[in-house]
DNA sequence: GTCTATAGGTTGATAGAC
DNA sequence: GTCTATCAACCTATAGAC
């Protein structure tokens, strides 16, 4: 399984996460993967198709796991808490990211980069997630005006994306205070923070003069 | 004031925000600014120096405003609430970003991109912010283990950065539900969410077997 | 200060031998 | 499937006329 194609995918994943898609040259990838430059265009057709393949390989399993966890949580409607819904959203991506070194920033980049790449991913995977998680949030007892709910979901995704993007530098940034070896602990902190934020009282808007 | 130098800065700001630093060529900038290609290297010395100038122009005022607002809040120690501290952190950047169309994604990108650019900005501006805001948080009544506090600050910055990065596409992404014309309203929502998150009870960590 | 012209390097992609 | 060699297009930066 350590054939050329896989080695290219592995190297591309690391470098895309570290430097972004457009700043990563095919030459950098083939050097890191120790394969020939032409191998990229043989196994994939273009750099764009390689990007798709890199995303495809990781996002599919995470999306499936998210929906699985949500299924489990929703199987017991009475016990469906806000925390369980948020955990189903956050845990799969955090665990996947922490399990494979260098994967986190790529995941974060996908969530935090608007434009062509996000749309490509969003339309293909996130639509299913959104259509399942929004109703689940409501069923879990969240009572918010639609606009407020959308903003708070946005804040939540931002927290999650930020954790992933900064994962490689987090220990250094915090002077060793924050470590990443325990993905479960990170998810727990994130869930506690976001659940409390979701339950915050809705600010009354002042009337304009 | 609409001289060549300013036109370059304006165009660079827009394009850096939209496509990132490395994906934006000097040609794209000079075309957008309707100036000659060589003007960039005349007025600035290099692309790297241009990036610095673009950042410098916007971040300085925001940093000053942040510290000003914190000064005002801390002038009345009894009334120093968590909300006021978070607002002093978030409001200046949101208001600056919303005031100038196209500026938001650049601000978000600065906050959400680790690596050379963040370090350049972080060391020059954020160190002052951090050294003032962390103590202010404690004085406002936050009682958290240092590790937990750092994580929650990280979550908060992530929410803020995400709002900025996605500002241009937020209305479309929410099917028109979330608009950006009222920066104050966004800050209020963000403050409510993050303050509640900061006040969340600390999750008890399970002992490892 | 503004321009043209160009140097010198890197990129993605491909043709064709093995 | 893997390689070398190469193309055309792009990039940043600069030299030098005006």
B17 close contact with A: CB closer than 8 A = no
pLDDT at B121: 82
**Which tokens is A120 given?**
């490509």
Q: What is the pLDDT of residues A70-106, one digit of tens each?
A: 999 999 999 999 999 999 999 999 999 998 989 999 9
Instruction: Show residues of chain A in contact with B188, CB under 8 Å.
Output: 203, 205
Q: Is the pLDDT confidence value at A201 over 50?
A: yes
Does residue A60 register a pLDDT over 60?
A: yes
The integer distance in angstroms from the CA atom of B205 to the C1' atom of C13 is 53
- Residue closest to C11 C1′ by Cα: A25
Query: Any CB–CB contact under 8 A between A95 and chain B?
Result: no
Signed CA dihedral, A125, A126, A131, A135: sign only: positive
Return the pLDDT at A12.
98
Q: Which residue of A has its CA nearest to B174?
A: A150
Distance from chain centroid for Cα A50: 19
CA B72 to chain CA mean position, Å: 20
pLDDT at residue A2, rounded to an integer: 63
pLDDT in tens, A160-192: 999 999 999 999 989 999 999 999 999 999 999
Of the candidate ranges A77-86, A188-197, B124-133, B171-180, the one whose mean pLDDT is the lowest? B124-133
Q: What's the pLDDT score for residue B2?
A: 63
CB-strand contact B174/D, under 7 Å: no
Q: What share of chain A is helix, strand, coil (3-state, %, to 5)?
A: 75, 0, 25
Q: What is the pLDDT of residue B209?
A: 41
**B3-39 pLDDT, tens per residue?**
999 999 999 999 999 999 999 999 999 999 999 999 9
Distance of B37 CA from C5 C1′ (whole Å): 12
Report pTM.
Answer: 0.96
Given a cut of 90, whether residue A113 has pLDDT beyond it is no
A192, A207, A208, A209, best to mutate vs chain B, most B CBs in 10 Å: A192
pLDDT tens figures, A132-170: 999 999 999 999 999 999 999 999 999 999 999 999 999
Whether the pLDDT of residue A1 is over 60: the answer is no
Q: What is the predicted pLDDT for the residue at A209?
A: 41
CA distance B59 to B123: 12
**Rounded average pLDDT over B151-180:** 96
Percent of chain B with pLDDT over 70: 97
The Cα A94–Cα A66 span in angstroms is 11
**What pLDDT, on the 0 to 100 scale, is given for residue A122?**
80
Q: For Cα atoms B33, B116, B65, give the angle at the middle one, nearest 5 degrees.
A: 70
């Amino acid at each position: 399984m350590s054939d050329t194609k896989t080695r290219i995918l592995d190297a591309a994943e690391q470098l895309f996460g570290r430097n972004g898609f457009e700043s990563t040259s095919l030459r950098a990838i083939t050097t890191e993967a120790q394969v020939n430059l032409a191998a990229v265009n043989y196994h994939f057709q273009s750099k764009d198709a390689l990007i798709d393949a890199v995303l495809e390989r990781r996002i599919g399993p995470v999306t499936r796991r998210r929906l699985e966890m949500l299924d489990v949580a929703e199987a017991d409607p009475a016990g469906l808490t806000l925390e369980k819904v948020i955990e189903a959203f956050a845990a799969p991506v955090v665990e996947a990211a922490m399990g494979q070194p260098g994967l986190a920033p790529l995941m974060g980049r996908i969530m935090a980069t608007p434009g062509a790449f996000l749309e490509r991913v969003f339309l293909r995977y996130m639509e299913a997630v959104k259509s399942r998680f929004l109703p689940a949030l409501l069923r879990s007892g969240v009572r918010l005006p639609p606009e407020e709910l959308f903003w708070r979901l946005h804040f939540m995704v931002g927290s999650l994306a930020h954790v992933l993007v900064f994962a490689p530098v987090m220990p250094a940034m915090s002077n060793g205070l924050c470590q990443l070896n325990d993905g479960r602990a990170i998810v727990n902190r994130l869930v506690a923070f976001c659940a409390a934020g979701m339950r915050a009282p809705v600010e009354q808007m002042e009337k304009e003069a």
